[in-house]
Amino acid sequence: MEPIFLKPTFKERIWGGQALKDQFHYSIPSNKTGECWAISAHPNGPSVVENGAHSGKTLDVLWKDHPELFGNPEQSDFPLLTKIIDANMDLSVQVHPDDDYNLIHSGEPGKTECWYILDCDEGAELIFGHTALNKDQFIEQVRSDQWGELLKRIPIEPGDFFYVPSGTLHAIGKGTLVLETQQSSDTTYRVYDFNRVDEKGQKRELHIDQAVEVATIPHQEKQPNQWLSHFGPSRITRLVQSPFFNVYKWEIRGSYKGNVLDQYLLVSIIEGEGSIVYNDHCYAIQKGTHFLLPAGLGEYQLIGNLDAIVSHN
């Protein structure tokens, strides 16, 4: 057993840019690359194992063929998806369904997610929530393009964190780079897309009826339950604990020893560099490295000056 390093897949988007190349040195398909699916077993973009006995396998295959690496889970499908999103332009105003709705309508889980702001332009904003008090008011404001009155805007800075439950009306704003941890789902209902057109002059499809069905009205905000622990000069902050995922920020300064027992961990290095030492083997890690620490791995050591976002379900 050893740490399992994963190769991301990339998605071109109408709102994408080249920050994934500029900041993470990824080889991206174009200067309209919007998403890095960094740790994914979703059929629309599974990650590929880069090392060891399972090299070349996709994460979904690993989940099915080697459940012992994940603590022998009961779920039939890998539950999480880690992305890095480059919002070179505003994303559409959108909402995601919950498990009950989406399992009926698309056969996959709902989509609760959370965002860690890696970087953003000065003055950048998110759309997070709305002002409608009931569905009739929501529909009226949507149908009459009262976006200034309906949408709530929030200024952001690097290091901010947001928990985004299913049903939350939202949009990542222009000039923002986000690490997103979410349920493994690819269902999005667009409410408003700023009247943009694609290269063929076509507007993207909107999903007003579905959005009205799944949106939380009136808007509700759920504050994440956070805590901070010190390990010498290193710090671990729990960013959120939820029924769908637990997400942490690790700030490693020098050396940190950890122990993986029955819970696998997903790790994305977001800043700095160093190494992970396991069983007398040393693996180099740096900004943009993504890996899985399998259940039952045991003791390992992180060395260096680096920050990571870590998650598990």
Which residues are catalytic, by number?
Answer: 190
Structural contact between residues 235 and 252, judged by C-beta atoms closer than 8 angstroms: no
Q: Residue with structure tokens 């994305």?
A: 268
- Token duo for residue 141: 């404001």
Specify the pairing of strand 176-183 against strand 125-130.
Answer: unpaired
Residue 75 CB contacts under 8 Å (≥ 6 apart), including other chains: none
Spell out the residues 6+ positions from residue 176 whose beta carbon is closer than 8 angstroms to its own: 85, 87, 117, 119, 120, 121, 124, 126, 156
- How far is 69 from 294, CA to CA, in rounded Å? 5
Q: Is 132 helix (H, G, I), strand (E, B) or coil?
A: coil
Would you say 274 and 302 are in contact if contact means Cβ atoms under 8 Å apart? yes
Joined tokens for residue 87: 């919002």
- Three-state secondary structure call for residue 230: strand
Tokens of 305: 């000056």
